[in-house]
Amino acid sequence: MTAMLDVKKLQVAYGGIKAIKGIDFHVNEGELVTLIGANGAGKSSTLRALSGLIKPAGGTVTYKGRDITGVPSHALVGLGIALCPEGRGVFARLNVHENLLMGAYSRDDKAQILREVDEIYTMIPRLKERTLQMAGTLSGGEQQMLAIGRAMLAQPKLLMLDEPSMGLAPLMVDKIFEIIRLIASRGTTILLIEQNAQLALENATRGYVLESGEITLQGDAKVLLADPRVKEAYLGG
Amino acid sequence: MSIDVLLQQIVNGLVVGSVYALVALGYTMVYGILQLINFAHGEIVMIGGPTSVFATKWLLSMGRPSLLALLIAILVAMVVCAVVGVAIERVAYRPLRNAPRLAPLITAIGVSILLQQLAILVFGRNYFTFPELISRDPITIGVVTVTMNEIVILLASVALMAALLWLVHNTKIGTAMRATAENQKVAGLMGIDVNKIIAITFAIGSGLGAIAGVMVASNYGQAHYYMGFMLGLKAFTAAVMGGIGNLWGAMVGGLILGLVENVGLIFVRGDYKDIFAFVVLVLVLIFRPQGLIGERVAERA
């Protein structure tokens, strides 16, 4: 079986300094794969290169057998890839409803889009209560929910989440992961970038550990969770 | 000072101010999306003047009725100006999008001079007479005297501004414009072709500018290669006064500037009229740099 997303020898450099030194990883259809690592390990650089926000310095990214290396971000949405960016990136001066509609920008089926907006509201009732509120006035957790909901409106086959738990209270983090599990259970393939290794590995099928721009460990999420090296480095011993 | 004079100047101010507002919208839309002061915008407005003169004269010589000639001339001017605006963005500003912000600013001034010189080459240095398609005969309403031309300018401006607000707030493309203005990277992630949205913004701003150019030409009965300079500066002042980047700000700023100028005329000689705009600009920059309606943003230029 060929992987849905196949990354080979990916390199990212910032002005000659290599942030990602040729990593290989893949995501199979239906999986929830997580990429964990400390701050500055290169997680976000990897995701930025995958999503066309920066051009990789080397390597290839293949999605469903198609080379998408360096394809600009706006063209990826149509292929079924959505990225929920680090720091959430909701449009602060657009209201919740408009933010959700922007997620469906590349689609034309208005009636179906509105049905899916309603589905998001059912899945995340908090957003429904705030539909006409400017996104900038939402709490961090609500913004994260909005960002995920917005990404789902692109009808992605592959959803990439960049640090969804960042800066959120533990209770809110649980809610976010509840939503992520729900999305995964409905068949969307997920690539999850997380600093919270415990939570990420508990929810993932497989995981990769990124250290200083290289993948040092990989395997079944349950196995990684029990691995003494992971425990020591990321799970607080 | 009699109340009649004041009323008359208020009406004159609203007419001039609504033209400022239309031009100011072009500055503010581009600033909102690129944080760039497009100093060439005044010249785009100017191009609308002579273009509409040539178009109307040609259409009239073909025996078209005057109102139809005017409408078609406006459309021609809009298309020409939109094309010029989009071309400027593509050729002069886009390559500098990630450059330090001073570079596109200076480029904009350069483009402005370039367009003026090109206008001399294409249209010549002459003043062109704009045919009186809508009557410029004075009509007296109560104590105030206006022309049909001025009434049309006022009504058309209000309609255009309402249409723009509707577009920006109620359509998919308008929402995408606001999203792009806020965060280009994330807008791209949504599948929004940011370059296309920016081009559309330039096209709309230039189209409104074209109409303003036709209004000025039609109101004063003439068009020339230099007409965009002062108009552009004043509209820029209006945009800053209202809060640059803010659509309501541009509209309110334009109207207030028109009013200040014309009411001010009661107290000083006409030669000094232009002083008001720049006194207002300086005062706003000192006391309320974010503009009357604008939000305070971290200064980036």
B263-282: pLDDT as tens digits: 998 888 888 888 888 898 89
B194 touches chain A (CB under 8 A): yes
Partner A, chain B 134-193, Cβ-Cβ below 8 Å = 172, 175-176, 178-179, 182-183, 185-193
**What pLDDT does A237 receive?**
55
What's the pLDDT score for residue B299? Answer: 41
**B223 and chain A: CB distance < 8 Å anywhere?**
no
A192 pairs with which residues across the strands? Answer: A34, A161
Averaged pLDDT for residues B91-109? 94
Residue-level pLDDT at A1? 59
Of B182, B186, B193, which has the smallest distance from its Cβ to A85's Cβ?
B186
In chain B the domains, ranked by start, together with CATH numbers, are 3-287 (1.10.3470)
Q: Is the pLDDT of residue B301 over 50?
A: no
B185 contact residues in A (CB cutoff 8 A): 53, 73, 85, 89
Q: Note the pLDDT of residue B271.
A: 82
DSSP character at residue B131: P
In B, minimum Cα distance to A152 occurs at B190
What are the phi and psi torsion angles at B162 (to 5°)? -65, -40
Q: Which residue has the tokens 């209000």?
A: B158
Asked whether the beta carbons of residue A106 and residue B183 sit closer than 8 angstroms, the reply is no
Does A38 score more than 70 pLDDT? yes
3-class DSSP state for residue B64? coil
Distance in angstroms (rounded) separating the CA atoms of residues B221 and B132: 7
Q: What is the pLDDT of residues B156-211, one digit of tens each?
A: 999 999 999 999 999 999 999 999 999 999 999 999 999 999 999 999 999 999 99
Nearest CA in chain B to A75: B191
Q: Which two tokens stand for residue B100?
A: 């330090």
In chain B, alpha helices (H): 3-34, 41-61, 66-88, 102-123, 148-170, 172-182, 184-189, 194-220, 227-242, 247-264, 273-287
Helix axes B194-220, B227-242, angle to 10 degrees: 120
**Per-residue model confidence (pLDDT) at position B46:** 97
- Work out the average pLDDT over A1-14: 90
Candidates A54, A88, A105, partner chain B, best to mutate (most B CBs within 10 A)? A105
* In the predicted structure, residue A235 carries a pLDDT above the cut 80: no
Rounded to the nearest angstrom, the minimum Cα separation between A196 and chain B is 24
Distance CA B108, CA B23 (A): 16
Q: What ipTM was estimated for this complex?
A: 0.88
Provide the mean pLDDT of chain B.
Answer: 93
Q: pLDDT confidence of B252, banded at 50, 70, 90? A: very high
> pLDDT tens digit string along B198-246?
999 999 999 999 999 999 999 999 999 999 999 999 999 999 999 999 9
Domains by residue range for chain A, with CATH: 5-234 (3.40.50.300)
Who contacts B63 (Cβ-Cβ below 8 Å, separation ≥6)?
A: none
Q: What's the pLDDT score for residue B280?
A: 86
Contact B172 A105 (CB under 8 A): yes
Length in residues, chain B: 301
Residues of chain B neighbouring A93 (CB-CB closer than 8 A):
178, 182
Those residues with Cβ within 8 angstroms of residue A228's Cβ, 6 or more apart along the chain or in another chain? none
State percent of chain A over pLDDT 70: 99
A71: contact with B, CB 8 A cutoff: no
Residues counted in chain A: 237
**Which residue of chain A comes nearest to B190, CA vs CA?**
A103
Q: Indicate the average pLDDT of chain A.
A: 92
What six digits make up the tokens of B155?
Answer: 């009504």
Q: Is the pLDDT of residue B298 over 50?
A: no
**pLDDT at residue B295, as a whole number:** 64
**Across the interface, which of B178, B182, B189 has its CB nearest the CB of A73?**
B189
Instruction: Give the chain A residue whose CA is nearest to the CA of B185.
Output: A53
> Among the residues of chain A, which ranges form H helices?
43-50, 73-76, 96-103, 110-123, 125-129, 140-152, 170-185, 197-203, 221-226, 228-234
Sheet holding A206-211, edge to edge: A81-84, A158-162, A189-194, A32-37, A206-211, A214-220
Return the bridge partners of A219, or none: A207
